[in-house]
Amino acid sequence: MDLTKEQINALISCCEKLGCSYSQQEPLEKHTTFRAGGPAELFVRVQNGETCAELLHLARQLKVPVHILGKGSNLLVSDQGVEGLVLHMESKQNEFQRKGNEIIAWAGENLSALCMYALEQKLSGLEFAYGIPGSVGGAVYMNAGAYGGEVKDCLKWVRYLDENLQEQLLPAEQLDLSYRHSMFCGTDCVILEACFELKEGNSEDIKAIMDDVMFKRRDKQPLEHPSGGSTFKRPEGAFAAALIDQCGLKGRRVGGACVSEKHAGFIVNDKQGSCQDILDLIEIVRAEVKEKTGYELETEVEFWGK
């Protein structure tokens, strides 16, 4: 059900009082790395936890559905768009805080910018994350990882709004962090800030590892085309890309969406495809891999839509 005029006016009034920018019918294809999807009814940019909490309280009072958006790097949005309010956790232009060997970062900051800041500070531990096209909050949410490292390896604590919109702070060991999972998955909790505990290092050594990670990404991954990163989780005892390749699915296409010829684990939107093109291709891949190998592929990508 679309928002009523009264709901929209109340939310806009709150945005204006709080000084945060907003837009109606904002195309979400501009805010996802797949470059697909319809509009958000009301799109609001937030840069602090207090603003976020106040808008969430009002949305609950008004019975307005809410979605939290970071960099949109692991997200598919329906071609019909998203009902209600989309809160975009916007970057503060890379404002990081160092305390000893710890770095505190707002959830909306770019993960690669955090890696660059750690390099500048001669702190090691985040090199694996360089080039992951997500936000700090999104990386914590899914315990992002690559090239032998995961967020949980260096995360110290997270500040967040719980499901009652009360601010909480928990150490990493209490966040149920596992492969592409955290306690935040499937909840109404909102990650606000994260602290990473790193080690002093040599800037040349740190940069060399980051450069190597980026070389591997560019060499192996189809970064030249819009995508949501790795489309499927790694099944136990196998690798998704190898299974997809084994089934002869590289190059399989639905409309503007295609299984990458460069890396079978990526579905790319190389010809301005729709969300439905991507969804249909995902289902084709899952069905053929299940039929030919017996493995049930689970997607990493989340879906929003009407």
Which residues are known to be catalytic?
180, 230, 300
Residues 6+ apart with CB under 8 A from 55: 11, 14, 15, 18, 20, 44, 46, 85, 87
Q: Are 231 and 301 in contact (CB under 8 A)?
A: yes
Within the chain, residue ranges assigned H as helices are: 5-18, 49-61, 111-120, 136-141, 203-220, 240-246, 275-293
Look at residues 107, 55, 110, 50 and name the one whose alpha carbon lies nearest to residue 86: 55
Within 19-151, residue ranges assigned H as helices are: 49-61, 111-120, 136-141
Reported in sequence order, the residue ranges of the chain that DSSP labels E, i.e. its strands, are 22-27, 39-46, 66-69, 75-77, 82-89, 96-99, 102-106, 123-124, 145-146, 149-150, 155-161, 167-171, 190-197, 199-200, 253-254, 257-259, 267-269, 302-304
CA dist 130 and 106 (Å) reads: 17
CA dist 140 and 43 (Å) reads: 23
CA dist 233 and 244 (Å) reads: 12
